[in-house]
A = this chain, B = another copy of it.
Amino acid sequence: MSSLEQKSSNKCCDGELRKYSFTSSALGGLSANLNVFLPSSALAGGGKKVPVLYYLAGLTCTEDNGAQKGGFHAAAAEHQIAVVYPDTSPRGAGAAGEDEAYDFGTGAGFYIDATKEPFAKHYQMWTHVTKEIPDVLSKAGLNLDTSNASITGHSMGGHGALTIYLGSPAGTYKSVSAFAPICHPTACPWGKKAFQGYFANGLTDGSKHDATELLTAAGGPSARNVDILIDSGTGDNFYKDGQLLPEDLAKAAMSAGYDDKQVQIRLQDGYDHSCE
């Protein structure tokens, strides 16, 4: 893993939006892009460290979508939080089949570590997001408190945020939120295709990366407290098509004994899958 190389910086909301790249060991030596919004206090010197919010993007997206269209930075500046935008897959891995569909391969890494060839060498987005990026950020002198982090995302990135939150030791991330996340991937077409393509044991391994399965396995408040907020729109065609299944996550939460303060799932009338 190389250190961060800064490609550009733009002043934004009294902070800076910076574009970085680095050579990613997790992604098999490929170059990885990363955007970071740094609020003013992180730039002011004096070593004041700020909390970190990871934003994971959806299918076909890059590190730019959330940074350019998300509209997060005014609120991040108000609360003095850094926002970190990883890419959604390795780029240029050269794996057979990676560029044949929008929902698998390039732009569709699903935030898992692939175990099936020809994807295992490069498609290690779980390790990239959970270990490598926090590591490279903490060594970059950016005044980020990577131990004080939360995670969010949209669609496939909402799946990533939920599964990384639930699949990491309690407290690794303070909270998770998601827009229109894929909540039950082992039961929807997108998730089945991805898990069968990336995992040697297909859906069996996929269940460890399935928010509904993970919440069931979490065992309820007596075993683990959670802080989950989901917004999903009723006008979302992917919701109507059964790709998102927030109702399955809601059932799992209820069965496990979580109340709607620990697992808050809001269906927003008429909103669709787009960011706008």
Contacts and interface: CB of A to CB of B under 8 A. Distances in A.
Interface string A252-276: 0000000000000000001110101
Contacts of A270: 11
Interface string A103-124: 0000000000000000000000
Contacts of A10: 272, 274, 276
A67 interface: yes
Interface residues of A, number: 17
A68 B67 CA distance: 12
A17 interface: yes
Contacts of A235: 11
B71 A11 contact: no
Nearest to A235: B11
A181 interface: no
Contacts of A11: 233, 235, 270-272
A42 to B, nearest CB: 15
Where chain A touches its partner, the secondary structure class is: mixed
Contacts of A67: 276
Contacts of A74: 71
A233 B68 CA distance: 19
A73 to B, nearest CB: 8
B276 A68 contact: yes
A229 interface: no
Interface in A34-84: 67-69, 71, 73-74
Contacts of A274: 10
Contacts of A73: 276
Interface in A152-197: none
A220 to B, nearest CB: 35
A274 B17 CA distance: 11
A12 interface: yes
Nearest to A65: B68
A276 B17 contact: yes
B71 A71 contact: yes
A198 B276 CA distance: 35
Interface in A1-44: 10-12, 17
5 A-B pairs closest in CB distance:
A11-B270, A71-B71, A11-B271, A10-B274, A68-B69
Given A10-B274, A11-B272, A73-B276, 9 more contacts: A10-B272, A11-B235, A11-B270, A17-B276, A67-B276, A68-B68, A68-B69, A69-B69, A71-B71
